[in-house]
Structure 1
Amino acid sequence: MPAPLQITDADRLPPEAVAEVRALLAAALGTDGVRPVSEEGELRLQHGGPAGGRDVVARAADGTLLGYARLEADPAAPEAEAELVVAPPARRRGVGSALLAHLETLAGGRPLRVWAHGERPGSAELAARRGYGRARVLLQMRRPLTDVDPDPRPALPPGVTVRTFRPGADESAWLRVNARAFATHPEQGRWTTEDVALREAEPWFDPAGFFLAWQGDPDDGGRLLGSHWTKVHPAGDEGPDPVGEVYVLGIDPDAQGMRLGRALTDLGLAHLRRQGLDTVLLYVEEDNTPAVHLYERSGFVRHAVDVAWRRDSTPS
């Protein structure tokens, strides 16, 4: 381990430290080929997050940034959750172990869940040494867009139309359906107006790639039935070339059986194809066997794995 290794944490990092961390994240992405911290983690690094969140940095004696971790520890939540990354030149030198020990202390004895993006051998070894077990696995699946119809005309139920998202007008309806569609999802179903606003302010946000299926007139009593929100990752974000994403695809439970999921999927993939993209990705829980099989039948294959490691209790 570097000696002495300085580890500090804060509610929010100052702008110059945020810039250092983002440079570290970019270096790790370039080395590993996978994003070392989730989109949500990066947004909270830049804009802050809920109560209990902490940014943790590890530095060498000369101030060089060696590692970063983000902890979510809502006082009302039964467990804490974190992500961590070590600068590529500083790996296998005890930095990850020191960061994880600090996170455990901050968790205050509660169970701690730590995400490892890409399931690299080092993260599995570190988790095993400290008594963590695999708790959740998230698959990234991909498929080519070269065979996608760029102008699909899906059949829709009578009275149903698909329109693109209108910022400032459609947020409340979308959040209601999102909460219903993902009622059992540990993160997605709890999105708030602020979560949407943060993404609307991101450079990648494009309402032309955000499709909403309405029954009736949205301005005159219409009901939102489902949506497909797409995203375009710029070159260097998910690989050397731009990549599309099925970002959020959700159908209101009351609208299940209307075949809206397939129609919205086709419209979203066609939009991404028209942007000149060759590949699309999505994320799905590994244990959601029906969804995994559905995506495999649709041409998606497994590309990467994110693993949440969990320990039932941490030292207080």
Structure 2
Amino acid sequence: MELPLDDPIAPRSPRRGAAGTSQAPRLTVGGLHDDRDAADFLALNAAAFAHHPEQGTLTREDLDARRAEPWFSPADVHLARLDGRPAAVVWIKRAPGSATAEVYVVATHPEAQGRGLASMLLTRALEAVRQDGARVAELFVEADSIGAVRLYETLGFRERRRHVQYAAQGAAPRATTRPVEDGEG
């Protein structure tokens, strides 16, 4: 899916606490700077992607390898905590000087879903890379992730290409959306 970053991205606010609570949890947002951030990211990632065979098994070594890449910036990871507990994350991947920003990870802890945290973090992250010179954002999402696709579409992302991965006999194929290259489609 793809989103032009020509115009400012309007910020979104998270929704108040869960029904029946009298006090909203304290929300903080930071980057991926130290060991605590890394541990919180990995715990959140594992909970959010428990169903996903690759993303849900990300290890500290995997994370450290990504942090060593030239495209990594701690400021491009937007890690939200509610009352000090990891709740949601948006990670943007952008090569230095590139006009394209990839939405690399969007995850919300199952206990924090439905509060608008992913939307709030994603608009914040996209506006930051837009102000830093990115002209387009792209992302790859499994088409059967209906909630994620709906979120991206409400923010203006549009499908540019669909890839179908074939599954074993009797299993449903998984489709992912990919951006269309210039001159395609």
TM-score by length of 2: 0.77
Change (3 A) 1:153 1:309: closer
Aligned to 2:30: 163
- Specify the alignment match of 2:13 in structure 1: 154
Q: What is the distance in 1 between the residues matched to 2:49 and 2:155?
A: 22
- Provide the C-alpha distance between the structure 2 equivalents of 1:159 and 1:302, rounded to a whole number of angstroms: 35
Unaligned runs of 5+ residues in structure 1 are 1-140, 217-221, 236-240
Query: Which residue in the other structure is 2:2 paired with?
Result: 142
The reply on whether 1:262 has 2:124 as its aligned counterpart is no
What residue ranges of structure 2 are gaps of 5+ in the alignment? 16-23, 170-185
Q: Distance in 2 between matches of 1:233 and 1:306?
A: 24
The Cα of 1:274 is off from its aligned counterpart by 1.5
Structure 2 CA distance, aligned partners of 1:153 and 1:291? 16
Deviations along 1:73-115, one digit per CA (max 9) or x if unpaired, are: xxxxxxxxxxxxxxxxxxxxxxxxxxxxxxxxxxxxxxxxxxx
After superposition, residues 190-209 of structure 1 pair within 5 angstroms as: 190-209=57-76
Structure 2 match to 1:295? 152
Change (3 A) 1:164 1:302: same
Partner of 1:249: 106
Distance 2:115 2:38 in 1: 23
CA distance in 1, matches of 2:146, 2:79: 26
Aligned length: 161
Within-5 A mapping of 1:155-234: 157-216=24-83, 222-233=84-95
Alignment of 1:22-41 (within 5 A): none
| Distance apart, 1:186 and its partner CA | 2.2
1:201-233 CA-to-partner distances (Å, cap 9, x unmatched) read 1000000111111123xxxxx211111111114
Q: How far apart are residue 188 of structure 1 and its match?
A: 0.7
For residues 205 and 290 of structure 1, the distance between their equivalents in structure 2, rounded to whole angstroms, comes to 27
Q: CA–CA distance in 2 between the matches of 1:286 and 1:257?
A: 20
Change (3 A) 1:252 1:298: same
Query: Which residue number in structure 1 is paired with residue 141 of structure 2?
Result: 284
1:167–1:207 Cα contact (<8 Å) kept = no
CA contact under 8 A between 1:181 and 1:251: conserved in structure 2?
yes
Asked whether the 8 Å contact 2:119–2:151 carries over to 1, the reply is no
Q: 1-side partners of 2:69 and 2:102: how far apart?
A: 15
How many angstroms apart in 1 are the aligned matches of 2:54 and 2:165? 14
Greater Rg over alpha carbons, structure: 1
Candidates 160, 163, 166, aligned match of 1:309: 166
Q: Deviations over 1:23-70 (max 9, x none)?
A: xxxxxxxxxxxxxxxxxxxxxxxxxxxxxxxxxxxxxxxxxxxxxxxx
TM-score (norm 1): 0.47
CA distance in 2 between counterparts of 1:215 and 1:311 reads: 40
Mean Cα displacement is larger for which, 251-260 or 154-163?
154-163
SS at match of 1:301: coil
| Larger relative contact order (Cα-Cα within 8 Å, sequence gap ≥ 6) | 2
* 3-state SS, counterpart of residue 247 of structure 1: strand
**SS at the partner of 2:34?**
coil
Conservation of the 8 A alpha-carbon contact between 1:145 and 1:273: yes
What letter corresponds to residue 90 of structure 2 in structure 1? H
> For the Cα contact (< 8 Å) 2:14–2:115, is it kept in 1?
no
| Paired residue secondary structure (1:302) | coil
